[in-house]
Amino acid sequence: MRITTFLLFATCLTIASADDPLPNIVLMMADDMGMGDTSAYQNITGNSDQWQIHTPSMERLARMGMRFTDAHTPTSRCTGTRYGLMTGRYPWRNRLKHFVLFGAQGDPMIERDRPTIATLLKDSGYSTGMVGKWHIGLRYRRSDGKPAAGWEDADLTQPIFDGPTDHGFDYCRFTSRSHGTSGVSPGNKKAKNDPNQSVGPGHIHGRIVVSATGDGKRLKQPSDPDAYVLDKLGSRHSDHSIQFMTQCVTGESQPKPFFLYYASNSNHSPYTPDDQIGGQAVSGAARNVAGKPMAAWKNKKSKKPSPKTDLRHDFIFENDVVLGRMIDYLQRTDDPRRPGHTLIENTIVIFTSDNGAERNADYATGPFRSNKGSAYEGGHRVPLMVAWPAGQVGDGNDQTPGRSSDQLTGLQDMFATFSDVLGKPLPDLRRGQKGGEDSTSMLAAWRGETIQRGPLFHNDHNEAKDKAAMAMRIDNPVVDGAVVPGKWKLFCDATLIRSGNIEPTELYDLIADPQEQNNVVNDASRKPLAEQLASTAALHRHCGGHRMVSLANHASVTLAWADAYQDDDSISLAAGTQSAPTAFFSVDLSHNGPPVTMNLTAFRRETKLEKATFDVNSRGLGIVGGKVAQVDYREAIVLTFSKDVLIQSVAIVAGNGQAGGFYQVGDKAPLAIYCTDDDIDFNDQSGVISDIGVVKAGETLRLDSSPHYGVEAPGRWRLGALTLRQLD
């Protein structure tokens, strides 16, 4: 496919005016789809016609709008990218430092009061719909209606306690996570569909598990229309997407704009293409650019290609068919809010992927190094195409060449971009509001302008010793007052995410070395650059969000109880904790005014301990009087400050105890506690807590060992250290 880059705007079919209604938005995200998986990027990847799958609908969208060639996901795996897309925030600021949520439940990552792109749009009058793969965590209910601790005590006949409907979506037809692990499907030889199956709940509509039978966790049989059948997911989800849009344009006396988030299950393994979608053949229908049936994917490591990869091509093609069906619907359907026009003219259509392709597919990531799960380019550089004729994002004509942009962007930028489309300000982080902490509006870039933006982070690195390692990309950085030309990418080991310490390991200029082969981190000539990038990475990691860096006008201070956090830059409190109703600590954070006073109070079973005794050992601060001298079952430490502060991190140490409990700022939604040496997830997500943000003067920060939601495991730990900054 040939796409021409224009310096001037193409003439749009319809130019948006101040009187135009807000646009509809259709955002389709494929699963595990690299840039080499679409012919819309063939001139970028250099794939041959023989090995390039033909994706005509994706080419069509690229011709209609803007194609981005330097677009990235927040992480290189499913869960983290979905969290970043929804919240405008990196997932490692929450608890997920690498990999994905495992288990049939997976504790929800998004707290109830955190804004998402769906709540942003819903609050602006949109009808919101979600179809496909969720994978940001669910919480079921027990038979008594209370929140379930996990899959084992879940009653699938009860309404879901926490899911997409709690985060802004009105209409939901979804699977809990990747399709192969969301329910027992016919033919699954590894798991039987019986009352004790532990794979997943099958289909969920809103809060209702429609695949449930009431016989334990047995799911409905194949003859039932709500049976969970892998090779029928494509048509089911596509039909639901058309159903949602049709309801939006015909079901209201005063139609509202709509937002459809279509999170495709394809092309994640197992490869289970539908036979047809909307009357168009899928299984066996994939063709290469030369027009011939796709052969098995060529494998560089084996002389004999795997026959299974034929199904992968069809699964990729399934995405193309689904996208084309939605574009067809938008082009033929009248817009009830703009008489005389069709929906396509005032609908933002976006196509992208959640990360790069899986490792078993050569050419799927194009020329870039590595694959899904890697912080190298092949793990997170993805297709991104956007069209919006009425908003001057492309001309809407699928017969024109289309436009391209090499603007650096990440999917977490959708939050700020949608805010810009709506004309709404982003949440005020200085006042303690949440939302879009790492998001930058790309609306001007959608229209062809170049934006000078800050850094991007990419984490989850399957080629590192600790997979929580990460990389930071920044273009044309300034070092010692001079611009250093290049697209620079600094790799750091996992200590940056887990503890906040930084150890650079690799450095590449993607202009000179796009395949990341020549590591120059130890080159003497690049030492000033490496040091400057490391300092930038540490600052942006510590401040709680790219948008919060401007608040960091004062140096951070670490208050340390545990030995591990005591150094020349910290304030040791190991010997200064008082046995009194309230432990007072006066700390000079600003050096230009009255010091900040921190009050530390102990609670047991919601009762303030008027004569609390605190215990300090090498692991940190605990409370005397419980079963052990830690912060024990239903005990809590509550902190307040005399001035507004930015909490950079809290180090909670399990030692011989365990992670558990929750932390909470004021009356905001609680989040589960994890420790520097223990956590609550299937994979190791241990580290400092680093997503608390601003705590206002007099507002409480509660660290509580009580079971999260009253049903999870209680904690038993110590407060090791607290790092904070005073705010102006």
The 10s digit of each residue's pLDDT in 481-531 is: 999 999 999 999 999 999 999 999 999 999 999 999 999 999 999 999 999
Phi and psi angles of residue 208, each rounded to the nearest 5 degrees, phi first: -100, 125
Phi and psi angles of residue 316, each rounded to the nearest 5 degrees, phi first: -65, -45
The 10s digit of each residue's pLDDT in 219-238 is: 999 999 999 999 999 999 99
Mapped onto helix, strand or coil, the DSSP state of residue 664 is: strand
Q: What is the pLDDT of residue 298?
A: 55
Q: What CATH code is assigned to 464-551?
A: 3.30.1120
Q: What is the pLDDT of residue 104?
A: 60
Bridge partner list, 645: 695, 726
Cα–Cα distance between 517 and 534 in angstroms, integer?
Answer: 20
Span of 19-23, 266-270, 532-536, 545-549 with lowest mean pLDDT: 19-23
Q: Is the pLDDT of residue 342 over 70?
A: yes
The confidence band for 201, taking pLDDT boundaries of 50, 70 and 90, is very high
The 10s digit of each residue's pLDDT in 291-340 is: 999 876 655 555 555 555 589 999 999 999 999 999 999 999 999 999 99
What are the C-alpha distances in Å from 163 to residues 26, 150, 174, 301?
Answer: 20, 14, 10, 42
Cα–Cα distance between 612 and 124 in angstroms, integer?
Answer: 48
Q: Who contacts 101 (Cβ-Cβ below 8 Å, separation ≥6)?
A: 79, 107, 109, 135, 136, 137, 177, 681, 682
Domain 24-193+204-446 belongs in CATH node 3.40.50.720 = no
Q: Who contacts 339 (Cβ-Cβ below 8 Å, separation ≥6)?
A: none
Tally of CB atoms within 10 A around 359: 16
Angle between helices 233-250 and 309-332 (to 10 degrees): 10
Cα–Cα distance between 717 and 705 in angstroms, integer?
Answer: 8
Residue 270 preceded by cis peptide, ω within 30: yes
The confidence band for 3, taking pLDDT boundaries of 50, 70 and 90, is very low
What are the C-alpha distances in Å from 607 to residues 11, 503, 635?
Answer: 68, 43, 9
Tally of CB atoms within 10 A around 379: 32
- Chain-centroid distance, C-alpha 604: 36
Contact 506, 50 (CB under 8 A): no
At 431, the amino acid letter reads R
Q: What is the pLDDT of residue 590?
A: 63
Cα–Cα distance between 138 and 160 in angstroms, integer?
Answer: 8
Kindly report the average pLDDT of the chain as a whole number: 92
pTM tops 0.85, yes or no = yes
Contact 84, 411 (CB under 8 A): yes
Task: Specify whether the backbone of 558 is left (phi greater than 0), alpha (psi in -120 to 50) or beta.
Answer: beta
Residue 15, CA atoms < 13 Å, CB-side half-sphere:
4
Q: What is the pLDDT of residue 10?
A: 33
Q: Is the pLDDT of residue 593 over 60?
A: yes
Cα–Cα distance between 407 and 447 in angstroms, integer?
Answer: 11
Q: Is the pLDDT of residue 444 over 60?
A: yes
Q: What's the angle, vertex CA 439, arms to CA 122 and CA 446, rounded to 5?
A: 85
Q: Give the chain's length.
A: 728
Q: What is the pLDDT of residue 680?
A: 81
The 10s digit of each residue's pLDDT in 579-590 is: 555 677 777 776
Cα–Cα distance between 662 and 713 in angstroms, integer?
Answer: 10
Q: Who contacts 72 (Cβ-Cβ below 8 Å, separation ≥6)?
A: 380, 381, 382, 408, 409, 410, 411, 456, 458, 473
Q: What is the pLDDT of residue 305?
A: 56
Contact 356, 382 (CB under 8 A): yes
Q: What's the angle, vertex CA 372, arms to CA 521 and CA 360, rounded to 5?
A: 120
Cα–Cα distance between 598 and 453 in angstroms, integer?
Answer: 36
For residue 98, give the nearest of 478, 463, 386 by alpha carbon. Answer: 463
Q: Could you tell me the residue ranges of all domains in the chain?
A: 24-193+204-446, 464-551, 557-726
User: Largest Cα–Cα distance of the chain, in whole Å?
Assistant: 80
Cα–Cα distance between 42 and 46 in angstroms, integer?
Answer: 6
Cα–Cα distance between 566 and 327 in angstroms, integer?
Answer: 59
Residues 150-178 have a mean pLDDT of: 97
